[in-house]
A and B are shown apart, each in its own frame.
Chain A
């Protein structure tokens, strides 16, 4: 029964963790009330703090920096704009406020707080304007519905000290309470308005945005504008090229809301305000939204705390922005927020991992329950046989047995589910913090459908019962004596060989037929199934083989091995659960280790420059000290419309309009968007380029502009081979909008050739990409448009001359000059950051993996204990023959460990094979990239060691209590 409870608890826990991650991602991806952008007042004082060189940069819309009326935005401005037809604007004001969880409140406004205070943004909005805005499309509908729902859910603010607030589910999950309490004292001063409004808009977009902005202001680290956040979306290794900064990492590590150092535990005064929380994904994280009326209470008035700005429910066009600016006397800044940023979502590979872990846990749970039922059956077998011998019919006995097992399942499932829910709720804050800090993603305490979750658990349990029901029914019909049951049915050698060959052949054939991700995942299931059947066949054979080579002169050791061989046939189902968990563990670890090794090797080679500058500035504005060689990374974007597999065809032009595809040997592509990156053709660049395959003299041809290198993603997803020629159109620079789109050829000095010369690995990147020689790009026509914000820095002649300061500088001065223009990373820093990010990315996967292994290990150990205790007579005979108690216990432990080792021995090849399937099938088909399989013995040994440690840990307690007592009249074991 414990095993069934354990299986269900483990299953529910893993499912809830997956659900929390999925719902968190869904919540974070839904429309926010700030997705339309914001209009904020630009404070001159704040502007004066900006660096001088930054002040000289190109002004944004609204002419930041110009002298304007030194007033904040007012209700009059708000009314003016709305009357002018800008009804999509909603006034808001924001301040930082310290909140505490309130455990209770009453009419006297006395609340008890017990948790650490957390600082959140209190955001007051004109809710009437928000709710009255006509619904225009799903997004607006979602916004108004959710906000209206949350505001009206509790009937509004009926009591003077009670307000209704909306909060993001992830924030609520982190706080862990439904009612908040705060004292109405303002924090900061009026100048905070500007800062607050900036923070608001950033929160409205994504947390990363804020962090990047903050980092930049700190002058420490920032990521480049367009792709600074690519790391979190494109897997760990893409963080390498464009890493998250250390300051960001530090900020993320905190994970949850920043608690204050003081713990409040007293009753509040009458100035306390109680906030009834209602959940809405339309609210930014770490923010509580209330009505403006509730925001301006007591000593908080518009005079002391002016409006922070206006949020726009729909994106504003350029003309609208200009119109708004003209109507306002103040200088305002428009902050657009894209809903399509790659932040806040888990990497696809990680989501696949979560899904796989859930499926794995379900299979493991299935085997555990099956094994538990089998053990129950075996325990009752002597009585069943006696009843059968006394003439009770097989049908009657079977029915009685199944009813008993059914009752066990009925009682165990809810207990297991409750335990799973409890475990998940206990783990939620930890996981939430992990998600937030590691992935910049959201994990929320899942809002689960209790019935469906229970149904899943019940399904797994009763599926096991259903499968099991087929076995005893058959066995019971013949189980009239113990000898029949005891008699082992070893397979003949020929049968073993036939089964083995058939299994391997089935895998080989099926593997060859894999063509989609679904096929690959089904193949993984088949692989586990076939490997389980082979384990069932081979485990006793392997154990017997070991027994034959064990020296009989060591009788106790000989007994351990022989007994294990016997035990192995009785513990097949438990072994299967443990085997699957261990195989998956080895497979995942080998895969991760291979990924890590490949990424580290690739990065080490690919990062050729001593330093890299990440900047938001335009290329033309960068000041490069004399003696510093800078190589910019230019990036364009194009659409792959066709590809030719005719080597030697002169399809050098990127202008597809001039190509007559109908007369060529080509195949059309699915208009895949391709990122076109520049690549330096100097020696360092050549040495740094890691390729999987290439045509002869590829580099020379590349250098002379005769072709391109493409990444695996492009090659695999579009079936591009070496020598193929690609046709791209709608080429544009990522940094310019559609209105300034230029003719394709205008980006280049001469029309480049898009003949594929080589395919390079691009680990973790989710985008298709090709490399063009840097010399092909025409700087005059591109201008700053194609600059990606990344500059490789080395010391020597610049390959792409830029502005230089007038006076010569020392090395430190050069670095300082560069650092003022962005974030300067050394190669080593980038490498370390990237690998750190990589390692942290897989922490949770490893955790789930270990959880599954732990559950399977516990179930395995429980099964072994039960079987061993049922076989205790052998142990007592050992004692009777003079073997010491300690030696008997050691022999029992030895049996467990030996069985584990045998299982591990079989799990290793299948685990490695599983890793191969993960890398070369699942990963390739799902994400279009692969990496070399690196089998590190240390990784495998560590996996096996962990599993052995779990087993030893679990059985240590019952083994310690074991007291084999000799009895002359004991029965022979069944």
Chain B
């Protein structure tokens, strides 16, 4: 379960926060798509959930992981506050009492990303030095649940198995994106964050790739959070949302207001 409470993110020199008291709750296996105007904070939201950046305030909880705790008076950074909740704490989720007792553990977020998070980058960000197979296997090997059989099946589903031994530089954009999706899935994470996964693909390929992504996440009971500009991709999610003025809405905001 992904739960975000009152998440706020401000950037220095910008008066209005890009995310303002944002709330979101997603159950395991559900998929959420987030659309919005360019610069509205979609990728920023993903960065905060992934632990790449620190919020100005708010709480982010993913299953039994607490990534952030902050209060208005004393903000503490992500690395010093993130920790795994105890069973007792889960019962009192969201209360100040529990969150004030977090311990310092800098490797906690790294551990969370390694074990529970899959990321699909817009620009793929595959390793040039590896071939397709090793790129995909990297996260599983890192986590320690590398299973060639499972990877083979996954690559077959994504139609990239014949490309396994090819250098990344020889793959097309669509092929690279499918490799990136496979890499995000192969270590069986509980949450997948996809930042415009079809942004560089043609429509047909985009549809195929998004279908695979949604299907596999659903089959694996993996929570999926997709940021996209494509309505077709967005509407496949269980919960298509719009980000506007720092908050998530179920409806698209009026054009006037956007202007």
Which A positions have Cβ atoms within 8 angstroms of B?
483, 486-488, 552-556, 558-559, 562-563, 565-566, 873-874, 877, 879-885, 965-973
A555 adjacent to B138 (CB under 8 Å):
yes
A966 adjacent to B52 (CB under 8 Å):
yes
In the complex, 16 of the A-B residue pairs with CB atoms within 8 angstroms, ordered by the A residue number, are A487-B169, A552-B137, A553-B141, A555-B142, A874-B129, A881-B119, A881-B139, A881-B142, A882-B112, A882-B139, A882-B143, A883-B110, A883-B142, A884-B107, A965-B52, A968-B121
A552 adjacent to B128 (CB under 8 Å):
no
Q: Given A552-B137, A552-B141, A555-B142: A968 and B129 within 8 A (CB)? A: no
> B96-134 CB contact bits vs A (8 Å, 1 = yes)?
000000000001001111110101011111011110001
Please name all residues of chain A whose beta carbon is closer than 8 Å to the beta carbon of B169 when the two chains form the complex. Answer: 483, 486-488
Please name all residues of chain A whose beta carbon is closer than 8 Å to the beta carbon of B111 when the two chains form the complex. Answer: 882
B125 adjacent to A873 (CB under 8 Å):
yes
For A554, give the chain B residue with the smallest CB separation: B141
The complex places the Cα of A879 from the Cα of B139 at a distance, in Å, of 12
The complex places the Cα of A562 from the Cα of B131 at a distance, in Å, of 10
Which of B43, B112, B128 touches A968 (beta carbons < 8 Å)?
Answer: B43
Q: Nearest-CB distance from A562 to chain B (Å)?
A: 4
**B212 on the interface (CB 8 Å rule)?**
no
The complex places the Cα of A777 from the Cα of B3 at a distance, in Å, of 107
* B42-66 CB contacts (< 8 Å) to partner A: 43, 46-47, 50, 52
Q: Given A880-B52, A968-B47, A968-B121: A563 and B114 within 8 A (CB)? A: no
Q: Nearest-CB distance from B114 to chain A (Å)?
A: 3
B128 adjacent to A967 (CB under 8 Å):
no
Please name all residues of chain A whose beta carbon is closer than 8 Å to the beta carbon of B50 when the two chains form the complex. Answer: 880, 966, 968
Which of B115, B117, B125, B129 touches A565 (beta carbons < 8 Å)?
Answer: B129
For A887, give the chain B residue with the smallest CB separation: B110
Number of interface residues of B (CB under 8 A): 33
The complex places the Cα of A971 from the Cα of B123 at a distance, in Å, of 7
Q: Given A487-B169, A555-B138: A967 and B122 within 8 A (CB)? A: no
B119 adjacent to A880 (CB under 8 Å):
yes
Please name all residues of chain B whose beta carbon is closer than 8 Å to the beta carbon of A559 when the two chains form the complex. Answer: 127, 129-130, 138
**B239 on the interface (CB 8 Å rule)?**
no
B52 adjacent to A556 (CB under 8 Å):
no
Q: Nearest-CB distance from A772 to chain B (Å)?
A: 70
For B123, give the chain A residue with the smallest CB separation: A972
**B175 on the interface (CB 8 Å rule)?**
no
**B195 on the interface (CB 8 Å rule)?**
yes
Shortest beta-carbon contacts, A-B, top 4:
A882-B114, A882-B113, A562-B129, A555-B141
Please name all residues of chain B whose beta carbon is closer than 8 Å to the beta carbon of A968 when the two chains form the complex. Answer: 43, 46-47, 50, 52, 119, 121-122, 195
* B208-246 CB contacts (< 8 Å) to partner A: none
Please name all residues of chain B whose beta carbon is closer than 8 Å to the beta carbon of A552 when the two chains form the complex. Answer: 134, 137, 141
Q: Nearest-CB distance from A311 to chain B (Å)?
A: 76
B52 adjacent to A562 (CB under 8 Å):
no
Please name all residues of chain B whose beta carbon is closer than 8 Å to the beta carbon of A553 when the two chains form the complex. Answer: 141, 146
Told that A486-B169, A558-B141, A562-B130 touch, could you supply 18 new A-B pairs with CB distance under 8 A?
A552-B134, A555-B141, A558-B130, A559-B130, A559-B138, A562-B127, A877-B125, A877-B127, A880-B50, A881-B119, A881-B139, A882-B112, A882-B117, A883-B114, A966-B47, A967-B47, A969-B122, A972-B125
B47 adjacent to A882 (CB under 8 Å):
no
Q: Nearest-CB distance from A372 to chain B (Å)?
A: 24
User: How many cross-chain pairs have Cβ atoms below 8 Å apart between A and B?
Assistant: 94
Q: Given A552-B141, A555-B138, A559-B130: A880 and B125 within 8 A (CB)? A: yes
B123 adjacent to A881 (CB under 8 Å):
no
Q: Given A558-B134, A559-B129, A562-B127: A881 and B113 within 8 A (CB)? A: yes
Q: Given A552-B141, A558-B134, A880-B50: A566 and B129 within 8 A (CB)? A: yes
A881 adjacent to B138 (CB under 8 Å):
yes
Q: Given A552-B137, A566-B128: A881 and B114 within 8 A (CB)? A: yes
Q: Given A556-B142, A884-B107: A563 and B129 within 8 A (CB)? A: yes
Please name all residues of chain A whose beta carbon is closer than 8 Å to the beta carbon of B121 when the two chains form the complex. Answer: 877, 880, 968
Which of A486, A563, A884 touches B110 (beta carbons < 8 Å)?
Answer: A884
Q: Nearest-CB distance from B207 to chain A (Å)?
A: 23
Please name all residues of chain B whose beta carbon is closer than 8 Å to the beta carbon of A562 when the two chains form the complex. Answer: 127, 129-130, 134
Q: A486, A884, A971: which has the most chain B beta carbons within 10 Å?
A: A884
Q: Nearest-CB distance from B202 to chain A (Å)?
A: 19
For B146, give the chain A residue with the smallest CB separation: A553
Which of A558, A884, A966, A973 touches B128 (beta carbons < 8 Å)?
Answer: A973
Please name all residues of chain B whose beta carbon is closer than 8 Å to the beta carbon of A882 when the two chains form the complex. Answer: 110-115, 117, 139, 142-143
B123 adjacent to A970 (CB under 8 Å):
yes
Q: Nearest-CB distance from B80 to chain A (Å)?
A: 14
Please name all residues of chain A whose beta carbon is closer than 8 Å to the beta carbon of B124 when the two chains form the complex. Answer: 972
The complex places the Cα of A284 from the Cα of B205 at a distance, in Å, of 90
Q: Nearest-CB distance from B159 to chain A (Å)?
A: 22
For B120, give the chain A residue with the smallest CB separation: A968
The complex places the Cα of A553 from the Cα of B107 at a distance, in Å, of 21
The complex places the Cα of A101 from the Cα of B127 at a distance, in Å, of 65
Please name all residues of chain B whose beta carbon is closer than 8 Å to the beta carbon of A555 when the two chains form the complex. Answer: 137-138, 141-142
Please name all residues of chain B whose beta carbon is closer than 8 Å to the beta carbon of A970 when the two chains form the complex. Answer: 123, 125
For B127, give the chain A residue with the smallest CB separation: A874
Q: Nearest-CB distance from A561 to chain B (Å)?
A: 9
Please name all residues of chain A whose beta carbon is closer than 8 Å to the beta carbon of B138 when the two chains form the complex. Answer: 555, 559, 881
Q: Nearest-CB distance from B44 to chain A (Å)?
A: 9
For B44, give the chain A residue with the smallest CB separation: A968
Q: Nearest-CB distance from A609 to chain B (Å)?
A: 66
The complex places the Cα of A879 from the Cα of B119 at a distance, in Å, of 12
Q: Nearest-CB distance from B190 to chain A (Å)?
A: 13
The complex places the Cα of A712 from the Cα of B150 at a distance, in Å, of 73
* B143-174 CB contacts (< 8 Å) to partner A: 143, 146, 169
Q: Nearest-CB distance from A838 to chain B (Å)?
A: 48
Q: Nearest-CB distance from A382 to chain B (Å)?
A: 14
Q: Nearest-CB distance from A926 to chain B (Å)?
A: 47
Q: Nearest-CB distance from A884 to chain B (Å)?
A: 5
The complex places the Cα of A965 from the Cα of B51 at a distance, in Å, of 11
Please name all residues of chain A whose beta carbon is closer than 8 Å to the beta carbon of B123 when the two chains form the complex. Answer: 969-972
B113 adjacent to A880 (CB under 8 Å):
yes
For B119, give the chain A residue with the smallest CB separation: A880
